[in-house]
């Protein structure tokens, strides 16, 4: 959805582990996961709305 490949995600994760304290890591992972899920839901909701309105960008 966002165009992030697995190697890029692993690099971001490695940097995050080095920078973020271990006690805060679970909270941050949970926040990122919830935010990603909300963004994904919003994205698919918009796609459904556009399909209902028959708007094509092609």
Examine residue 58 and state whether it is found in any structural domain, yes or no: no
Query: What pLDDT score was predicted for residue 38?
Result: 94
Residue span of the structural domain in which 41 resides:
6-52
Task: Tell me which residue has tokens 């890591």.
Answer: 25
Query: What pLDDT score was predicted for residue 2?
Result: 63
Domain total of the chain: 1
Examine residue 27 and state whether it is found in any structural domain, yes or no: yes
Of 13, 15, 53, 47, nearest in space to 29 by CA:
13
Examine residue 1 and state whether it is found in any structural domain, yes or no: no
Q: What is the pTM of this model?
A: 0.56
* φ, ψ (nearest 5 deg) of residue 6: -60, -45
pLDDT in tens, 1-58: 567 788 888 898 888 888 888 888 889 889 988 998 998 889 888 888 877 655 555 5
Examine residue 21 and state whether it is found in any structural domain, yes or no: yes
Examine residue 45 and state whether it is found in any structural domain, yes or no: yes
Task: Tell me which residue has tokens 């890029």.
Answer: 8
Give the CA-trace dihedral at 1, 35, 43, 6, to 10 degrees.
Answer: 0
Examine residue 14 and state whether it is found in any structural domain, yes or no: yes
């Amino acid at each position: 959805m966002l165009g992030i490949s697995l190697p890029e995600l692993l690099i971001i994760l490695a940097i995050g582990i080095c920078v973020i304290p271990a006690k805060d890591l679970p909270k941050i992972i949970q926040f990122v996961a919830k935010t990603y899920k909300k963004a994904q839901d919003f994205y698919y909701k918009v796609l459904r709305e556009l399909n209902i309105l028959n708007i094509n960008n092609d």
